[in-house]
Amino acid sequence: MGTDAEWDARYDAAPDGMFSGNVNGTLAAETAGLTPGRALDVGCGEGADAIWLARHGWDVTGLDVSAVAVERGAVAARAADVDVRWIAADFATAGLDGFDLVTAHYPALEHTPDRAVLHALLAAVAPGGTLLYVGHAPLDREFSLAHGFDPDDYVLPKDVRAFLPEDWTVEVHEERPRPGGAPHGSSFTHDEVLRARRG
Ligand SMILES: C[S@@+](CC[C@H](N)C(=O)[O-])C[C@H]1O[C@@H](n2cnc3c(N)ncnc32)[C@H](O)[C@@H]1O
């Protein structure tokens, strides 16, 4: 489900765009009280969140394992006349650090025995910075299995919370309705939102 070639094929199968191009409402809500600085959007897809952050004063890096998605983000950023740094790479091995905000919405990051994604998430956030990690909720396991993936294979907000060291503060961890409702044709009505601050 998760290699670069597999994700590229998914994006190629949706040549007019896989997503709406609109910012995720939870990102807009959860960053309202933050002072813009360096931001990293993990699993940025076609770049709508990264572009929104850049418009709101953040110095943004958008990272996705799919080069097709990242190229779409770059095209959209040029059209919007904003600067975003784009990286096509596997987040788990990208070796990033020093961000005031690390945001990931529905990022489809897979567990590995070495817990590489969890280590990479913690390392990416600068001291005093914020991690915003948002997934779908509640996850309907049978629906997921019928659509070819097992939610247990993926790093979910609850997994990130359980991995946070003691010097992190959990500011938000809850399920709530997704702003704007479920995207057309999907059953994703709610988000699981984790926002935590590194000490
Ligand atoms: C469901 S999409 C969400 C895209 C975007 N965040 C949004 O809200 O529209 C999941 C994204 O995660 C990316 N992804 C999956 N595994 C990844 C990995 N190991 N490193 C970076 N990105 C990954 C996929 O290519 C895909 O674009």
Strands 190-198 and 168-177: antiparallel
Percent of the chain with pLDDT over 90: 82
Q: How far apart are CA 108 and CA 22, in angstroms?
A: 19
3-state class (DSSP) for residue 5? helix
**For ligand 1, atom 27: residue with the closest CA:** 45
pLDDT (0 to 100) of residue 23? 96
**Residue 109 Cα to ligand 1 middle (Å):** 7
Cα–Cα nearest to 102, from 33, 163, 27, 172: 27
Q: Are 26 and 179 in contact (CB under 8 A)?
A: yes
For the chain, the average pLDDT equals 94
Asked if pLDDT for residue 24 goes beyond 70, the answer is: yes
Q: DSSP character for 36?
A: P
**Residue 91 Cα to ligand 1 middle (Å):** 10
The predicted model scores a pTM of: 0.96
For the chain, the first-to-last Cα distance in angstroms comes to 34
- Encode pLDDT of 162-174 as tens digits: 999 999 999 999 9
Ligand 1 neighbours (beta carbon < 6 A): 2, 7, 19, 24, 43-45, 63-66, 69, 90-92, 105-109
Asked if pLDDT for residue 1 goes beyond 70, the answer is: no
- Encode pLDDT of 112-135 as tens digits: 999 999 999 999 999 999 999 999
- Average pLDDT (67-93) is 98
- Encode pLDDT of 50-61 as tens digits: 999 999 999 999
What stretch of H or E contains 107?
none
- Average pLDDT (149-158) is 93
Percent of the chain with pLDDT over 70: 98
Q: Are 86 and 62 in contact (CB under 8 A)?
A: yes
pLDDT (0 to 100) of residue 188? 82
**Residue 164 Cα to ligand 1 middle (Å):** 22
pLDDT (0 to 100) of residue 144? 82
Task: Report the DSSP beta bridge partners of residue 172.
Answer: 195
